[in-house]
Amino acid sequence: MGKKTKVGKARKDKFYHLAKETGYRSRAAFKLIQLNRSYEFLQKSRVLIDLCAAPGGWLQVARQFMPVSSIIVGVDLVPIKPLPNVITFTDDITTEHCKQKIRHELKTWKADVVLHDGAPNVGKNWLHDAFAQARLTLSAFKLASDCLAKGGWFITKVFRSKDYHALLWVFKQFFRKVVATKPPASRNESAEIFVVCSGYLAPDKIDPRLLDPKSVFQDVDGQLEEGEVDPVSGKRMTGAAKLSLLMHPERKKKSAEGYGDGKMLLLERLRAQDYIDADDDRSKELLSACHEIVIDDELKKNPATTEEVILGCQDIKVLGRRELKIIMAWRNKLRRQKEKAAKEAAAKSAPAETAAITIQPPEDDEETAIQKQIDALAEEERLEARRKRKKINKLRRQLQERMNLKMVIPGDSLLPEDGTEQSLFALDTIHSKKGLEKVVPEAEELADDVSDDNSDGEENPLLVERETRASRKERMMEEWFDKEIFRGVDWEGRTASKEEKAERMEEESDSEEEMEFEVIQEKDEEVEEKPVVKLDPEGFALAEELIKSRKRKREIIEAGFHREAFNEPDSALPSWFVDDEKKHCRKSAVDHGLITKEQVATYKDQLKAIDARPIKKIAEAQARKKRRAVKRLEKARKKAGKVLSEEGQSSQEKIQQLKSIYKKAAGKVKRKAPTLVVSKKGGGASRPEKREKGSRIKVVDRRMKKDIRGMKRAEKAKKKVGAKGRGRK
């Protein structure tokens, strides 16, 4: 367990503040969110039980992520503040009464997920607190095993202690997959770890010893119990090992490796020369078993034995992969040096041995040599028969597969009498004229064209080599100049040779490629400059017809060629006349019968709907305005309620206050523009009784309006006179 470095307010980390901001009751809610993000068990669940659920942070997360109308039950010794659509009650999860109450709430349902985030009251020594947490976790699982559906999930918090592995062993007996993880929201100094168990097996019967703390954990009462010492090794067993031995007495623990005659070998030394002389497999075994390699003085003087090798050989068990590779490379280098020295020594003593051999008679007897040859031939025949059997078996399997796929009928056979594979296209087996005649009796004409050298079996007459680049170029050149148009042509006063023709062909092809490249460039530029065409309703309807089928597309293209298709207007005509002609004197696609009026009308309605649709910003502004109006109205209602509840005011005063409150809530009202009316001599408006209710009338002086009009006419006259004077000059 890590050392606690934060106490009091210093423990309020970012998850504490996030929980306050988002409305979660505890920072532990983020632990469940992170676990669900990794394993996604809440989205698939309909029934959930949260054991030790106070203050309710995990219940909030479950209500948020589980489907609507799910059943969520929370239990704790401390009362839980109510949550919408969540069942909570106060009880002890270790009692039978709690189990009966949960059954009553679930009725016939089974839980898909059981959560447990409980912890005992800590404060004593660490061993006592860790054991209390492990026992509480086992009690929670005992309750979950009675309520959990097959394939369900069990997520619990445990403390890392000596009983941790025993708990995991118990969980693995009931679930398909058990994973231990620590979410980022869990503090680093905390010893808690979360175990996610998935795929509940739901056994028909459960051995009570698997759910009994006295059987699962060790030192329950602080004393050694009977059967807690391993009879083989004499060591004290963990809770899981003890329970496994109790439930399966037929299993016996194997003796641990590294012990010899009951005593542990603390140090195993190995001579460097023995390690070098051993073969590759044996050398690896020796290297893995030893603790130290003893290097003698002669090997230390060798240049291959570096200081790093000497230090590495002093303690093999602490070396990493890189250091072990260095030691193995050192061994291989010394072996190569030894082999090289042996070859040089053998080469020096070779002449004397040769002379001795020439003088001495041969050691092998003639009968022994004959027997060896016979044995070799027999072995070769055995191998050849084995190869034939494998080939025949392969062909039989192929025949069976083809018969299963109904590619051949049962009477057919792929196995000839000699057991060889017969294939129509196996041309690589034909190496002579006779072989060709065996396959095709009429092959004499084909074989006559082949030279005598090829008929000796050196080359296959039916296999043609791949055409090279030079031969392909020469063949294309000959085919090109063999045309009738080039017969008898004299290039520059004489008949051109093949080399000159080839050069001319290359020049022509290069020029053609350049022209094609220029044309492609021009086309690309044209495509880039071409504007985007916006289709009208008639264009959309025509496009719909074009994509229906190839036949319809061909009909529309053919109908586009008529007497009015290429009537280009004269450039001397005025533009307004040309535009008017295009608008009124042009037959549409509807007139030609290519599309119908109903299709055009449909696309017109669609375009109108698009044009009438408000833009996003206008819609957002309207929504904001509506929200503000609703807020103002809500405030006005609250104020109106206070005014009505006040005493000591008359009804008229209250009505005036209510009018002012609702007038402010309604906001500004747009006033109509004033109506301009010519005034009478007396200064009053003419016929004021006919004006609309709520409109204002602005009185205008008739004399003043006449004077303004006269001044404008005078200014226009001055301008005309000035323009005429400038024209005369």
Q: Residue 295: how many CB atoms within 10 A of its CB?
A: 19
Q: What is the mean pLDDT of residues 268-282?
A: 85
Strand duo 192-200 + 148-159: pairing: antiparallel
Strand partners, 271: 294
Whether the predicted pLDDT of 126 surpasses 90: no
Q: What is the mean pLDDT of residues 426-448?
A: 59
At 39, give phi and psi (nearest 5°). -115, -15
Label residue 465 exposed, middle or buried (CB < 10 Å: 0-12, 13-18, 19+).
exposed
What confidence tens digit (pLDDT) does each residue in 79-114 have?
A: 999 999 899 999 999 999 999 999 999 988 999 999
Cα 251 to Cα 240: distance, rounded to the nearest angstrom? 14
CATH number of the domain located at residue range(s) 8-217 in this protein: 3.40.50.150
Whether the predicted pLDDT of 561 surpasses 50: yes
Helices (H) and strands (E) in the chain, counts: 26, 15
Provide the percentage of residues in the chain whose pLDDT is more than 90.
18
Is the distance from CB of 698 to CB of 678 less than 8 angstroms?
no
How much is the pLDDT for 262?
Answer: 43
How much is the pLDDT for 227?
Answer: 42
What confidence tens digit (pLDDT) does each residue in 643-661 have?
A: 888 887 888 888 888 888 8
How much is the pLDDT for 440?
Answer: 58
Output DSSP code: residue 133.
Answer: H
Label residue 66 exposed, middle or buried (CB < 10 Å: 0-12, 13-18, 19+).
buried
Q: 29-38, 445-454, 510-519, 616-625: which has the highest mean pLDDT?
A: 29-38
Cα 475 to Cα 477: distance, rounded to the nearest angstrom? 5
Is the distance from CB of 92 to CB of 117 less than 8 angstroms?
no
Residues involved in catalysis = 157
DSSP 448-471: HTS-TTGGGTTS-TT--PPPPHHH
Whether the predicted pLDDT of 116 surpasses 90: yes
Closest CA to 216 of 277, 155, 137: 137
Output the CA angle 608-609-614, nearest 5 degrees: 110
Q: Residue 248: how many CB atoms within 10 A of its CB?
A: 9
At 682, give phi and psi (nearest 5°). -80, -5
Higher per-residue confidence, 720 vs 465? 720
Q: What is the mean pLDDT of residues 315-325?
A: 83
Q: What is the mean pLDDT of residues 576-595?
A: 78
697 falls in which pLDDT band (50, 70, 90)?
Answer: low
Residue-range domain boundaries for the chain: 8-217, 264-352, 410-466, 588-627
How much is the pLDDT for 571?
Answer: 67
Q: Alpha-carbon Rg of the chain, whole angstroms?
A: 51
574 falls in which pLDDT band (50, 70, 90)?
Answer: confident
Residues 6 or more apart in contact with residue 286 via CB below 8 angstroms: 270, 274, 275, 278
At 263, give phi and psi (nearest 5°). -115, 140
Higher per-residue confidence, 727 vs 590? 590
Q: Residue 664: how many CB atoms within 10 A of its CB?
A: 12
Residues 6 or more apart in contact with residue 398 via CB below 8 angstroms: 414
151 falls in which pLDDT band (50, 70, 90)?
Answer: very high
How much is the pLDDT for 266?
Answer: 58
Is the distance from CB of 702 to CB of 676 less than 8 angstroms?
no
What confidence tens digit (pLDDT) does each residue in 362-376 have?
A: 555 677 778 888 888
Report the Cα 189 to chain-centroid distance in Å: 34
Whether the predicted pLDDT of 616 surpasses 80: no
Summary mean pLDDT of the chain: 76
Whether the predicted pLDDT of 236 surpasses 70: no
How much is the pLDDT for 6?
Answer: 53
Whether the predicted pLDDT of 47 surpasses 90: yes
